[in-house]
Amino acid sequence: MPLTIRSNRSTLTQFLIEERRRHPSASGDFNALVLDVALACKGIAKAVAYGELAGMTGNHASESGASVNVQGETQKKLDVLSNEVFMRRTEWAGNLAGMASEEMDSPYQIPAQFPRGKYLIVFDPLDGSSNIDVNVSVGSIFSILRAPQDVIDSGRDVVDADFFQPGAKQMAAGYALYGPTTMLVLTVGTGVNGFTLDPTLGEFMLTHPMMQIPADTQEFAINASNARFWEAPVKRYVDECLAGKTGARGKDFNMRWIASMVAEAHRILMRGGVFMYPRDTKDPSKPGRLRLLYEANPVGMIMEQAGGRASTGEMPMMNVQPTSLHQRIGFVFGSKNEVERIERYHREPVQVELTNPLFAERSLFRD
Ligand code: FBP
């Protein structure tokens, strides 16, 4: 067992205090909030690790059977537990004016017995929940915003519109990955740093300082079962990747799809790649699968802070003006040059002649 305590690795607390020295006027509230979020993630990591031993797999049951969240998705027991852990660990300290999450229809008001603060947190307590019961990596995603000044001054209850801030306004963003190791990946606007949870000490230790994403890649991630619903620019991009050396790209590409966005984001942060869950024609009422405020914006900020790029396919994700708490959006992120290529394909006129037989009329996918 490595004696991490003897190592010269920084703990998360140490890292945050050193960061705070850059802002002498800072009150420390921000650091305290990030540490409360980190504690919540440690608790969720334990619950995920116990799994069925603690009866933590399967669907969450309400009086009327399996409970469904505002997205119409069946809630897993760990979805509900993780949501509660985030609330309990962050509501009490006086750093928050309010919070919102994937598992709650409307914003959660800080209970009267606790002081209210100047920050908002919006989070996906457990991302990739379709993978929980099959023991594949899942994660938690969070975004920290500054509450509007009138909220801070009046202490009033928060409303949906208080969270409608473009990604560029985020004070911090991060995710925890519950995989072979538990990691916390965090940006406070000065680059991206990765911390590994030392299971003995129970401390997040700085193991991946100043993470950077390679600008180029030969690895893409997309759910190919949606191919018939893709728009032409995405079909063209994937078509060219699949054509490999024989096609316009002149190089072979590999494909990955874990169906846990946090795990895909982490792989891309570690070795490059491009992730696409684009807007498609599958369900016109849903302009995408992933949610803007607690999936696309925080992961987007991390990608941009690590030298990558985050986009809707047509515009920078960080410039999108939110209009609803649980709005969905097409999301493309990863290695800068590939994301820019996909954006260019969205600007260029649609090519009529599709070269790859895979997507041509008479293709393998025909029923
Ligand atoms: P939630 O699990 O938080 O609802 O997240 C959505 C998600 O699971 C992403 O993590 C993942 O990238 C995507 O959905 C998988 O979608 P699909 O089931 O279409 O492959």
Q: Profile the chain (367 residues) by mean pLDDT over runs of 10 residues.
A: 71 94 84 98 97 91 76 90 98 98 97 98 95 96 98 98 98 98 97 96 96 98 97 97 97 97 98 97 92 98 98 98 97 98 93 54 47
Residue from 261, 262, 283, 328 whose mutation best tests the ligand 1 pocket (most atoms within 8 A of CB): 261
Measured from the CA of 257, which atom of ligand 1 is nearest? 20
Measure 66 CA to ligand 1 centroid, in angstroms: 19
Tokens of 221: 């991630």
Residue from 260, 264, 328 whose mutation best tests the ligand 1 pocket (most atoms within 8 A of CB): 260
pLDDT of residue 357: 52
Residue 97 pLDDT? 98
The pLDDT of residue 61 is: 81
Question: Residue 167 has what pLDDT?
Answer: 98
> Would you say the pTM of this structure is higher than 0.85?
yes
Residue 102 Cα: closest atom of ligand 1: 3
Cβ pair 138, 262 in contact under 8 A: yes
**Cα dihedral 5, 22, 269, 320 sign:** positive
pLDDT of residue 366: 46
Written as six digits, the tokens of 130 are: 């379709």
Cα–Cα–Cα angle for 79, 84, 90, nearest 5°?
A: 130
Can you give the pLDDT at residue 353? 56
Q: Whose CA is nearest to atom 8 of ligand 1?
A: 128
Residue 138 Cα to ligand 1 middle (Å)? 10
| Residue among 75, 124, 130 whose CB has most ligand 1 atoms within 8 A, to mutate | 130
What is the distance in A from the centroid of ligand 1 to the CA of 137? 12
pLDDT at residue number 8: 82
